[in-house]
Amino acid sequence: YGGIYGVGMAARCPPRMIVMSYTPPQNSDSSSTTQQQQQQQQHVVLCGKGVIYDTGGLALKPKTGMCGMKHDMGGSAGVLCGFRAAVQLNVSHKVTLVLAIVENAIGPESLRNDDILTMKSGRTVEINNTDAEGRLILADCVSYASTSLGDVDVILDMATLTGAVSITTGKKHAGILAKTQSMEERVFKAGLKSGDLVYPMLYAPELLKSEFASKVADMKNSVKDRGNAQASCAGHFIESHIDEDYKGDWVHVDMAGPDSKNERATGYGVALVLGLLDAPGFC
């Protein structure tokens, strides 16, 4: 878990990966559960970026740019509260929650630009921007989800990942990056019916992976050209750490735009999760 540990190792409170699971109750009357309903039941993994405060690390944010970085745990808050509500509503899907909780602090133990991390996936990452930390911790989460949780049908990661997403999809829509068209459509519809709006971003890993080229590691953690679909690139970085043998779906939700308004959190993400999980009585 080099990404989670590397980002959080300078903080007073050590980094953590938190895992919770929910299994839907078995219907005592098996005849009332149709074969179609059984086939529709999925194992959905919700991964959340939980940077409780983001100084930028040694690539320190400016004094005005750092204000509001208490909101950088919005992705983990969204999936955590969505998970809690889903359990209370007895959704029919099996759900696993994976949170990466860190503080991107500065100090003698801080991660440095030029350091190389070995990730949970086994891939190595050359750090060229310590302020591109969210993708590092989520990369470990999706790697864990795709290798250690048995049969998984859907991996969703949610994060306040990039400032660029507000340019891509605006401040009222999260940007989504989906592995398949069916997954993209499913999350888009969940956004419409829940009110947590989303809009698709460019999905083109074959065109964008060169942005992370490194001469000393498998990849860098930040792009070479910030004008080349930067928000999509960040999502593809996370995707590149999913196990190659994983056959399920994946979707990345960058909710840095709608996560907060007027210096307050909006609660974005909870309704989207419930919509995705077809929570009974919700929408």
Other beta carbons within 10 angstroms of residue 264's beta carbon come to 9
- Least confident segment among 31-45, 144-158, 238-252: 31-45
Burial 176-212 (b: 16+ CB within 10 A, else e): bbbbeeebbebbeebbeebebbbbbbbbeeeebeebb
Percentage, residues of the chain above pLDDT 70: 95
Q: Is the pTM of this model over 0.85?
A: yes
Query: Quick check: is 61 catalytic?
Result: yes
Q: Which of 49, 120, 135, 179 is catalytic?
A: 135
Mean pLDDT of 114-140: 98
What confidence category does residue 282 fall into, taking pLDDT thresholds of 50, 70 and 90? confident
pLDDT tens digits along 63-116: 999 999 999 999 999 999 999 999 999 999 999 999 999 999 999 999 999 999
Contact criterion met (CB below 8 Å) for 111 and 127: yes
Distances in whole angstroms, Cα of residue 235 to Cα of each of 137, 203, 241, 252 = 12, 9, 11, 6
Containing 111, the helix (H) or strand (E) segment is none
Handedness of CA 253, 224, 220, 54 (dihedral sign): negative
| 264 tagged catalytic | no
Q: Which of 61, 70, 123, 209 is catalytic?
A: 61
Q: How confident is the model at residue 251 (pLDDT cuts 50, 70, 90)?
A: very high
pLDDT tens profile 219-235:
999 999 999 999 999 99
- The percent of residues in the chain predicted with pLDDT above 90, rounded, is 93
In tens, the pLDDT along 177-212 reads 999 999 999 999 999 999 999 999 999 999 999 999
Going by the DSSP 8-state scheme, the letter that residue 217 receives in this structure is: S
Residue 100 CB burial class (10 angstroms; 0-12, 13-18, ≥19): buried
